[in-house]
Amino acid sequence: MNITQPPLLEVRNLSMGYDLSVVLKDVNFSVSQGEIFVVMGGSGCGKSTLQKHLIGLQQPMEGDVFYHGQSLTLSDPHTRQQLLQRMGVLFQGGALWSFLTLLENVSLPLSEHTLLKKSEIRELATLKLALVGLSGFEHFYPSEISGGMKKRAGLARAMALDPEILFFDEPSSGLDPLTSQKLDDLILQIRESLGTTIVVVTHELASIFAIADRAIFLDSVTKTVLAEGNPHDLLQNSNQSRVKQFLSRGKIGCA
């Protein structure tokens, strides 16, 4: 990771919510190229809401999200589409199409957004499935595989267009500890082998400590970022009691 480079992703004075209800306000942070960045906090603290703004699914009340200095919110439709195609998203449940095989699921973004031949698309989709450890499962349907395999298949699809940044929404949700650890190992492997920048939304302490270069803690009381830094450093040195309580026990609520 080259920390001298300008940030790939920058969030400036972002406020977000629904109708007149503010979920988060004055959120500021940046993510560097090749970094694994974690958005952490208890359930209901606004983690998923923030991610929806980062990937363009919601418009902010105030502020903006920038990729390589380009505004996601204010960009014209063509530029916005170009920015969005440089992202990949793994949603909580994998979000696979149940009536398509794994190969067809991974092929879909390539069919929609490239001019590649069918044979080339099939080859690339097979490669992506191999990268996540699913060689031999190309013709399986989502109903025929385990929850952990669905997550990996969803990841293969998120990687189909070789995005420069990957977003993970609660990747360990619904997984047993061993499967969750294997997914953490895969996240680290993807960063090391491909240099992909990764943003992970999670409340799982084991994953946070295993993968994060840096993290922000979203606080429901102040409705903003209460702390930022390496999770190990925050556990030892943060002067915020709610941050230390979350990192030491993971039991903090979000009233």
Q: Residue 68 is part of a domain; what is its CATH number?
A: 3.40.50.300
Q: Per-residue pLDDT for 87 more than 60?
A: yes
Res. 18 pLDDT band, cuts 50 70 90: confident
| Residue recorded with tokens 């409705």 | 223
* Same domain flag for 6 and 51: yes
Q: Per-residue pLDDT for 7 more than 60?
A: yes
Q: Per-residue pLDDT for 6 more than 80?
A: no
| Cα(80)–Cα(149) distance, integer angstroms | 32
Question: Is the Cβ–Cβ distance between 35 and 57 less than 8 Å?
Answer: no
Range of the domain at 112: 93-162
In what helix (H) or strand (E) does residue 81 lie, and over which residues does it extend? helix 77-84
| Cα(115)–Cα(23) distance, integer angstroms | 41
Q: Per-residue pLDDT for 66 more than 70?
A: yes
Half-sphere exposure for 240 (CA within 13 Å, toward CB) = 20
* pLDDT recorded at residue 174: 80
* pLDDT recorded at residue 19: 80
pLDDT digits (tens, 9 = 90+) for 185-225: 999 999 999 999 999 999 999 999 999 999 999 999 999 99
In SS3 terms, 120-155 reads as HHHHHHHHHHHHCCCCCCCCCCHHHCCHHHHHHHHH
* pLDDT recorded at residue 4: 61
Res. 44 pLDDT band, cuts 50 70 90: confident
Res. 254 pLDDT band, cuts 50 70 90: very low
Domain total of the chain: 2
Q: Give the lowest-confidence range in 49-58, 85-94, 140-149, 200-209.
A: 85-94
* Same domain flag for 186 and 141: no
* Same domain flag for 35 and 45: yes
Q: Per-residue pLDDT for 72 more than 70?
A: yes
Mean pLDDT of 56-83: 93
* Same domain flag for 6 and 52: yes
| Cα(158)–Cα(153) distance, integer angstroms | 9
| Cα(195)–Cα(175) distance, integer angstroms | 26
* Same domain flag for 124 and 145: yes
Mean pLDDT of 93-104: 90
Q: What is the mean pLDDT of the chain?
A: 91
Query: In this structure, what are the phi and psi dihedrals at residue 249, rounded to the nearest 5 degrees?
Result: -130, -30
Q: What count of other Cβ atoms lies within 10 Å of the Cβ of residue 77?
A: 7
* pLDDT recorded at residue 172: 85
With CA atoms as reference, report the closest residue to 50 among 220, 206, 211: 220
* Same domain flag for 109 and 59: no
Percent of the chain with pLDDT over 70: 96
pTM score of the predicted model: 0.91
Q: Count the residues in the chain.
A: 255
* Same domain flag for 62 and 170: yes
* Same domain flag for 146 and 187: no
With CA atoms as reference, report the closest residue to 218 among 208, 210, 112, 35: 208
Top pLDDT among 44 and 160 is at 160
* Same domain flag for 151 and 253: no
